[in-house]
């Protein structure tokens, strides 16, 4: 599980320069950007958030309810 201290400081790398870039933990397996118009979702694999913009882009068109748990290993 990702530590609560880390979750407090993580931000969406695509949004943080223009806005807060807040993330919401979903199903203990995904960090979902809450900024309007973003839609990026970052997987948590082996308790490590994968905070790459390219990774978040892969999941933009997938609804939160359809996210795989656990996230695929790629």
The H-or-E segment that residue 26 falls in is strand 23-26
Beta strands 23-26 and 30-33 are antiparallel
Q: What is the pTM of this model?
A: 0.93
pLDDT at 74 over 80: no
Sequence ranges of the domains in the chain: 4-63
pLDDT in tens, 17-69: 999 999 999 999 999 999 999 999 999 999 999 999 999 999 999 999 999 99
φ/ψ (deg, to 5) at 72? -65, 150
Residue 30 near residue 63 (C-beta atoms within 8 A):
no
**Residue among 45, 49, 57 at smallest CA distance from 14:** 57
48: CB partners within 8 A, 6+ apart: 2
What kind of fold does domain 4-63 have according to CATH? N-terminal domain of TfIIb (2.20.25)
């Amino acid at each position: 599980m990702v530590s609560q201290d880390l979750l407090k400081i993580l931000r969406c790398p695509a949004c943080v320069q223009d806005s807060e870039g807040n993330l919401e933990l979903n199903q203990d397996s995904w960090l979902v950007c809450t900024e309007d118009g973003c839609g990026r979702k970052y997987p948590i694999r082996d308790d490590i958030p994968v905070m790459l913009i390219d990774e978040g882009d892969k999941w933009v068109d997938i609804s939160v309810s359809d996210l795989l748990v656990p996230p695929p290993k790629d």
